[in-house]
Amino acid sequence: MKTTKHAITSIITSNYIPQALTLHSYIQESNPETSFLVLVLGERDSLPQDLPPGPEWICWDDILNQETRMKLAKEYTPFELSCVVRGRFHHYLSTKRSFEKWIMVDTDIGILASLDLVWEELDSGCIALTPHASKPVNLDHAFPHEKNILKYGLFNAGVVGMRRSETAEEASQWLCERLEAFGHSFADRQASGLPTHHDFEFVDQIWLNLLSQYFRESTVILDKERYNLGHWNLHQGKLELQDGLAYFNGERVVMAHFSGLPAKEDLGLVSCYSKLYTENQSKPWAIMATDYLDRLEKAKTSSPSIPYSYSSIQPSKARVEEKPAKAVSKGQKNGFPKRVLQKVARGFQSPARIVGGIRLVSWQVKRACKTAHSILINQGEDQIFRDLSENAFTSLVPCIGNYETYLVRASILQSVVKAKDLFKGKLLDVGAGSSPYEDLIMASGKVREYIKLDFASSDYHQGHELDLTWDGKTIPLDAESIDTVFMTEVLEHVHRPGEMLREVRRVLKPGGVLFLTVPFSWPMHELPYDYHRFTPIALRAYLEEASFDVQDIEMLGGWDHSLALQIGLWLTNRRMGERKRKIAKLFAWPIYSYLMRKGRNENTEIRNHQMYMGLAVAAVAHE
C-alpha cells in the first residue's frame, strides 16, 4: 500500500526509462511504501500505451500546455530540458498533488536506506538541499575539485526535497521562472555551435545557491554526507560495507550518487571526474557501483529505451524551419521589396530609429576610412589588425588579426570539447608541441596522467617541456600501456600513416581511445614533411587496417567555412605590399564574417561534391 504522505520523484527523457526502473528497484527494497513518480519528457503519442509497471508515469503534457512544451523543446537540448522543468515539477507537486513531502532525485542515485531521516529533517524546514562538500581537500586537489564546486554550484541538484507550504510553492515558482529563462548549459552549447545566450555553466544547479539565501529561514541543509554520498564528498570519511549495508563514518548511507562512473574495471577510482582516489581507491564504492550497473543492465534487457521524441525540433546547427511551397515561391518573387517597404514604414513610425541607424552607419564608415587612411600614410597599426584572442587555441576571438587560423582552430577546439568525455586514464599526446589542449582535457578529471611526446628537434615545443621524444617510428612505451592517444594535425606529416597508426595501436590498451584531427583545405607547410591530405574514406580504411573501430568521423566546416578559410589564407599569404594587404583585409572582413555565420548552419555530412576544412576522428582499439 503506497502512502499518500511522501513521494520520491524524478525526471527523464523518454530514452532513460531503464534508468528510472533502476532507481525503482532500489525504492522497492528500501522504501516500498513510498510513492515513486516519474515525469517523462515526451509526447504521449510517442510513448507506448503500457509503460513498465512500478513507477507512476506522468507525461509532461499533464503539467504543461502544448505551446509551452514546444517552446521549451525547441529552445533546450535534452539534458538542459530535463533540468529546466524541475521548477515546474516541484510547483505541480506543491499545488496539484496531495503529498506532504517529496524528494526529487536523479536516476543515477541508489536509495539504500529508509528516507525517514529526510522526512524528519523537512519537519524543521520547507526546502532540503545537499551540499557538495562540508570539508576542504588539500591544496593539491583544490583544482579541479573545489574549483568545480565554485563553478557548478555549492549544492547538488541530484537531491532536493520540499514540504508542502506557501514557501515551497513560492520557491518552486521562482525556480521555475529562472530555469525557463536561463537554463542553458554554456560550455555544452558553445562546443556544439549552439547559441549560448547566458554564460551559466551548469543549468539548474547554480541557482540553488540563491534558493538557499532567498528562502534561508525555511531551508534545511542536509550536511551529513550519507544523505547524498558522491565523488565530491567521499574523501571526507570512511566508507564501509557491513553485512551488505553501506556505512559512512559509522552512519548508514541513505543515498549514493553514482555520477560519472569510470570504466567498470576501474570503479574503485570512484569517478572519472575526480583524481582524489587514484592512489587510495575505494573497494566498497566499487562494490556499490557494480551493483548499480548490474541493476541498470537488467533494466535495459527487460524494458524499452524509447527514442527521444523531440529530436527533430531540438536546437541544431543545421535546423531550418520548413515553409509551404507556396509561401517560398511568393517570398522569392516579392519577399525582398515587401521587407524593404515594411522597414520604411516602421521608420516613419519611429524617426528616431532612422536617425540612430544613419549615425551608426556614418560612424562605421568614418572608422573604416580613418583606418584605411592611417594604413596609406604608414601610421601606427590599428588595433583591429591584432589577434584579440587570449589564447590562440582555446580562447579564440574571430577578428582580422586571425583571418587564416580562426575557423580551423575553432573547429578543432569544438571537436576536442565534444570528445573529451571519452578521454581517460593515461593519455599520450603524440606531436604535443606546446600541448595547447592539456588544461582543457585535464579539467574533466578523467585523465590522471598527461604524457607529451614529440621530436626532440621540433620547433613547436620550444619553451615547453616534453615527457618523451621519439624518431617518428617507434613510440618509447610498452605495448598496451596507454588508455588514450590524442593526436591533432600530425598524421599528414607522416610518410607512412598506416605504420604510424599500427604503432599507436600497439601502445593502446584494448578498448583504448584514439582521437585525431587532420587538415584538408590547407596550404603546404613544414616542408619537406607534408605528405598527405585525407578523405574520410581513406582515413577510415587506414584506421580499420590498423585494428581500430571507428566511432565517429566528423567533417570540420563545409563550403562556406572552406571559402572563408581560403579568403583568409589568400589575404595572409599572397604576395602583396603590407599596406595593400591591410586594406584588402579591412574591406574583405564583411564577406568573411558573412561566410563564417552562414557556415554554422551548413550540412557537413559525407557525400559527393562536399568540401571541408579538415576531419576529426574518434576510434577505439580492437579488443
Residue 143 lies in a domain: yes
- Look at residues 177, 210, 231 and tell me which one is the last residue of a structural domain: 231
Q: 304-317 pLDDT, tens per residue?
A: 777 776 766 677 65
Domain of 507? 400-621
- Residue 395 near residue 389, CB atoms below 8 Å: yes
The pLDDT mean for the chain works out to 85
- pLDDT score for 421: 86
Average pLDDT on 327-340 reads 50
Q: Which residues pair with 484 in a beta bridge?
A: 427, 513
Is the pLDDT at 596 greater than 90? The verdict is: no
Is the pLDDT score of 350 beyond 60?
Answer: no
147 Cα distance to chain centroid: 18
Sort residue 177 into left (φ over 0), alpha (ψ -120 to 50) or beta.
alpha
| Final residue before a domain boundary, out of 231, 263, 279 | 231
Map grid coordinates 509551404 to a residue: 324
Residue 185 falls inside a structural domain: yes
φ, ψ for residue 267, nearest 5 deg: -65, -25
pLDDT band at 615 (very low <50, low <70, confident <90, very high): very high
Does residue 223 belong to any structural domain of this protein? yes
- Residue 319 binned pLDDT confidence (cut-offs 50, 70, 90): very low
364 assigned to some structural domain: no
CATH of the domain at 133: 3.90.550
Residue 253 lies in a domain: no
Residue 515: what pLDDT?
Answer: 96
390 pLDDT higher than 80? no
Q: What is the mean pLDDT of residues 410-415?
A: 91
Give the three-class secondary structure for 451.
Answer: strand
**HSE-CB of 446 using CA atoms within 13 angstroms:** 19
Instruction: Answer yes or no: is pLDDT of 377 > 60.
Output: no
Please say if the pLDDT value at position 347 is more than 60: no
The mean pLDDT of 399-421, rounded to a whole number, is 89
Model confidence at 553: pLDDT above 50:
yes
Length, in residues, of the chain: 623
d(CA 526, CA 529): 6
**What is residue 259's three-state secondary structure?**
coil
What's the rounded mean pLDDT across residues 189-211?
81
Residue 269: inside a domain, yes or no?
no
Give residue 255's pLDDT: 98
Domain CATH number, residue 492: 3.40.50.150
Distances (CA, A) of 341 to 345, 356, 364: 6, 19, 25
Instruction: Tell me what pLDDT residue 143 has.
Output: 79
Q: What is the pLDDT of residue 483?
A: 94
Q: Which amino acid appears at position 560 of this protein?
A: D
Q: How confident is the model at residue 325 (pLDDT cuts 50, 70, 90)?
A: very low
End of a domain among 203, 231, 259?
A: 231
CB atoms within 10 A of CB 94: 23
Is 326's pLDDT higher than 70?
no
Of the chain, the percentage scoring pLDDT greater than 70 comes to 86
Contact present, 26 and 47 (Cβ < 8 Å): no
At 364, the pLDDT band (50, 70, 90 cuts) reads low
How many separate domains does the chain show?
Answer: 2
Q: Within a domain: residue 413?
A: yes
For residue 136, is pLDDT > 70?
yes
Alpha-carbon distance of 322 to 575, in angstroms, equals 46
Q: 470-489: string of b/e by CB count within 10 Å (b at 16+)? A: beeeebebeeeebbbbbbbb
pLDDT, tens digit, 9 for 90 and up, residues 482-535: 999 999 999 999 999 999 999 999 999 999 999 999 999 999 988 888 999 999
Q: Please give the Cα distance from 173 to 165 (Å, whole number).
A: 12
Query: Nearest 5°: CA angle at 486, between 483 and 487?
Result: 145
Of 10-14, 330-334, 357-361, 587-591, the poorest mean pLDDT is in 330-334
pLDDT of residue 362: 67
Q: Establish if 277 belongs to a structural domain.
A: no
In this predicted structure, which of 144-148, 285-289, 311-315, 549-553 has the lowest mean pLDDT? Answer: 311-315
Can you tell me whether residue 36 is helix, strand or coil?
strand
Segment 52-78 mean pLDDT:
89
DSSP string covering 464-492: S--SEE--SS--SS-TT-EEEEEEES-GG
pLDDT at 312: 63
pLDDT score recorded for residue 3: 52
Of 50-59, 271-280, 480-489, 541-550, give the lowest mean pLDDT range.
271-280
Strand pairing category for 468-469 and 447-454:
parallel
| Exposed / middle / buried, residue 207 (Cβ in 10 Å: 0-12, 13-18, 19+) | buried
Across the range 58-83, mean pLDDT stands at: 89
Q: Which of 2-6, 51-55, 230-234 has the lowest mean pLDDT?
A: 2-6
Q: What Cα–Cα distance (Å) separates residue 161 from each residue in 68, 359, 610? A: 25, 55, 52
Q: Is the pLDDT of residue 348 over 60?
A: no
